[in-house]
A and B are shown apart, each in its own frame.
Chain A
Amino acid sequence: MRWPAIAGLTGVALLLTGCSLTTVSGGQEIEIVAGERADGSMYFEPAEVTVPVEAEVTFVVRNKGQADHEFESGQKGEAGIEEVLVPADRVRRINWKAPSEPGVYPVYCDLPGHRAAGMEITLRVVEQP
């Protein structure tokens, strides 16, 4: 009776601590900061990110603002970055693989009014240097 219980608990512990199934990691990390300015505008920094084709990337999005924000580029013809909500004062990680062809894509916050307030950056996918 004890061994199955110990094995089960170990499995759950492994699953919940280090397993890649429960966390988001793996690619080259790119730090993005999100937030709002005193003048009412909103931002992602840096405003432009460049990655090589087929690069495996982990965006680490840090929301330093007072409001929730999203990070995405998932509409038809965009970069294929899934929508992830980043609550105020939190960090979220998003894995993404760059397309095989060079291109320029918008990455933005799709919450009402946020993109218009400035929350959009340019993601450039370029040939391998």
Chain B
Amino acid sequence: MGYSFLITAREGLEAGLIVAIVLGYLARTDQRRYWPHILLGTALALVGSVAVGAALEATASELSGKAQEAFEGGAMLFAVAVLTSMIFWMKRQASTMGAHMRQRVDVAIRSGSALALALLAFTAVGREGLETVLFLFAGTSGSGSSLLYWGGAGAGLAVAAAMAWVVYAGSARLPLRSFFNFTGVMLIVLAAGLLVNGMKELHEIGATPDLGPRLWDTYTILADNSEIGRFMATIFGYDSSPLLGQVVAYTGYLALTLTLFAAGRGRPAPPAAAPAAAAMTGDAVPALEGKHG
């Protein structure tokens, strides 16, 4: 539940901020007539993301045995790569995102194409949606109760929607930088857990090199397949008898990424590269610069 809540709260807020900022900017510049295009693009992105998530789940459930474990393990490692790059990309871009998003809106409006505006919302929100379904899919195999898991995801979305609304309404100044820094650290911890869970899946089917001996056994203290054990496995990649390779990967990943994150390795993107990056990926935290609408 904690995992799914954190994922949807963070990703949902990124998507929500995009919509809030664009709608706010259009309202402020007396161009509310373009709202339906933005809302249409957003709705299509959400539907598309859910469809991709359903396809991932359907594909995994159709597979069995080795193929299923390979698919799930591969998805986990892919999610770690995407999650890690997203966290650092976000840290680099956060301070300039608002301006880039508004630039993109201006360009779309000047082009005179309603489709361009809808496409802008579709690509920006769709990116966040695809990340969300990938991370949620990667976490499902370790979750115990599916009711709690999806309940947590729903609660995270509700929190994200509420925060995005607050930003749009301009009724309060949210500590967004602190929020993204905090969730960034939490996501790094989650990604470390996903990393070892993915390694475990792939090791079971013999798709990894020898990961060494099992270092200890804490099953009698906390069983992997107990209620709390499952939770710990999802959040921290808990394994009661981990292999040497898993322990090295976990500690190495955490040490490296947390150090880089704390050191603020995310230098601001060069001006020439920023619009291109924005166009490719969709910006997410324009409100870091202040309130809009």
A68-82 interface bits toward B, Cβ cutoff 8 Å, 1 = contact, 0 = none: 001000011000001
Cβ-Cβ contact count across A and B, 8 Å cutoff? 54
A20-52 interface bits toward B, Cβ cutoff 8 Å, 1 = contact, 0 = none: 111110000000000000000000000000000
Residue of B204, B205, B221, B226 touching A24 (CB-CB under 8 A)? B226
Residue of A21, A75, A84, A112 touching B227 (CB-CB under 8 A)? A21
Judged by a CB distance under 8 angstroms, whether A98 is at the interface is no
Residue of A16, A70, A110 touching B222 (CB-CB under 8 A)? A16
- The size class of the interface chain A forms with chain B is 20 to 34
Whether B65 contacts A87 by the Cβ 8 Å rule is no
For residue B204, which residues in chain A have a CB less than 8 angstroms away from its CB?
Answer: 70, 85, 110-111
CA distance A9 to B220 in the complex (A): 19
For residue B227, which residues in chain A have a CB less than 8 angstroms away from its CB?
Answer: 20-22
Judged by a CB distance under 8 angstroms, whether B139 is at the interface is no
Whether B225 contacts A24 by the Cβ 8 Å rule is yes
Chain A's closest residue to B206 (CB) is A112
For residue B228, which residues in chain A have a CB less than 8 angstroms away from its CB?
Answer: 15, 19, 21-22
For residue B225, which residues in chain A have a CB less than 8 angstroms away from its CB?
Answer: 24, 82, 84, 92-94
Whether A22 contacts B223 by the Cβ 8 Å rule is yes
Whether A90 contacts B222 by the Cβ 8 Å rule is no
Asked whether A92 and B219 contact (CB < 8 A) given A22-B229, A112-B205, the answer is: yes
CA distance A110 to B228 in the complex (A): 25
18 contacts between A and B (CB under 8 A): A15-B228, A16-B222, A19-B228, A22-B221, A22-B227, A24-B225, A75-B64, A76-B61, A82-B225, A85-B204, A87-B241, A91-B219, A92-B219, A92-B223, A110-B65, A111-B204, A112-B66, A112-B206
Residues of A participating in the B interface, judged by any CB pair closer than 8 Å: 15-16, 19-24, 70, 75-76, 82, 84-85, 87, 90-94, 110-112
Residues of B participating in the A interface, judged by any CB pair closer than 8 Å: 61, 64-66, 204-206, 214, 217, 219-229, 241
Beyond A22-B222, A85-B204, A112-B206, 9 extra complex contacts between A and B, CB < 8 Å: A16-B222, A21-B228, A22-B228, A76-B61, A84-B224, A84-B225, A87-B217, A92-B219, A93-B225
